[in-house]
């Protein structure tokens, strides 16, 4: 694994920071960076599980499963593409067994949302017993109901962490990522997912990853993303009392899923509003 020693060191420091924020009764928001920051988040939850003697779960919202590991591929090298495998104990010990706490999250305490229908590792995920909904099922069930379903899957956990990789969004509305793909969700769906997850007092924090400003020279995509994040975080004030978020560098019927244009926004930026039309 490339830079494993540095990633392990950073993950322990990030876990320290997250733990201090949560212990203070505040809500941490970690802005990545790539998905490897979730190692620090998961380590913080694992430490907490030891103290509380109950598990914590992980809701993993991502366009890719990040489940590559030595058991299903001949080559591994980038932690960002292997994070879900690493946090469940699959991979080299200097990342999977920090502080002797492997695994940081048990397979059945994970809910994976937003992967594309033909993800390379979907059969491995099924064999591991990891609960998931790919984009077609998520859209069929509705984002808000999917958030409720995800909470139900983690009902045996004392709480959970939420990971969001921006590439869960369709490339037509968010091309400013390292691996933009078609077939993703739209901004309103991401907002409904996050609001449904963050409104639960059991949600301890959030990390947001993979946005690449090099592909957003005028800041248009950043503006849309920040708007979505702010709207989603407003759910914290409708849940049980909690301090404002700290940034670390009978349900109503849902409207139909937004229609996403297929063209790349790198050549034609109509930004967020077209994705919100029905």
Domains of the chain: 4-245 (3.40.800.10)
Q: Are the beta carbons of 59 and 105 closer than 8 angstroms?
A: no
Give me the pLDDT at residue 276, please.
35
Full-model pTM:
0.87
Residue 231 is predicted with a pLDDT of: 96
Of 145, 250, 131, nearest to 189 (Cα)?
A: 145
Strand intervals (E) in the chain: 27-31, 56-61, 110-113, 131-133, 159-165, 203-209, 245-248
Q: What is the Cα–Cα distance from 278 to 274, expressed in whole angstroms?
A: 9
CA distance 164 to 1: 23
Residues of the chain with pLDDT under 70: 239-244, 249-278
**pLDDT score at 251:** 45
Q: State how far the Cα of 18 lies from the Cα of 29, in Å rounded to an integer.
A: 9
Helix, strand, coil share of the chain (percent; to 5): 45, 15, 40
Check residue 277 and give its pLDDT.
31
* pLDDT at site 273: 34
CA distance 233 to 194: 8
Query: Residue 258 has what pLDDT?
Result: 55
Kindly give, in sequence order, each residue whose CB lies less than 8 Å from that of residue 205, ignoring residues fewer than 6 positions away: 18, 21, 22, 27, 28, 29, 30, 41, 161, 162
pLDDT at position 75 is 83
């Amino acid at each position: 694994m490339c830079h494993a020693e540095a990633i392990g060191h950073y993950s322990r420091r990030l876990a320290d920071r997250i733990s201090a924020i949560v212990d203070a009764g505040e809500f941490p928001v970690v802005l990545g960076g790539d998905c490897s920051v979730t190692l620090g988040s998961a380590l913080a939850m694992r430490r907490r599980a030891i103290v509380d003697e109950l598990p914590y779960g992980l809701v993993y919202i991502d366009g890719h499963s990040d489940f590559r590991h030595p058991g299903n591929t001949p080559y591994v090298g980038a932690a960002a593409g292997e994070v879900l495998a690493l946090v469940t104990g699959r991979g080299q010990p200097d990342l999977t067994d920090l502080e002797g706490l492997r695994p940081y999250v048990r397979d059945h305490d994970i809910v994976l949302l937003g992967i594309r229908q033909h993800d390379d590792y979907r059969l491995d995920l099924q064999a591991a017993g990891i609960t998931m909904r790919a984009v077609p099922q998520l859209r069929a069930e509705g984002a808000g109901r999917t958030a409720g379903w995800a909470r139900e899957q983690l009902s045996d956990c004392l709480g959970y962490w939420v990971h969001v990789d921006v590439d869960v969004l369709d490339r037509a509305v968010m091309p400013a990522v390292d691996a933009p793909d078609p077939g993703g969700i739209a901004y309103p769906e991401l907002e409904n997912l996050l609001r449904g997850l963050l409104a639960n007092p059991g949600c301890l924090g959030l990390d947001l990853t993979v946005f690449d400003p090099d592909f957003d020279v005028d800041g248009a995509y950043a503006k849309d993303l920040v708007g979505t994040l702010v709207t989603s975080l407003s759910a914290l004030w409708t849940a049980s009392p909690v301090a404002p978020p700290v940034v670390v560098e009978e349900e109503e019927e849902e409207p139909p899923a937004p229609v996403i244009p297929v063209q790349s926004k790198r050549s034609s930026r109509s930004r967020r509003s077209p994705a919100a039309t029905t």
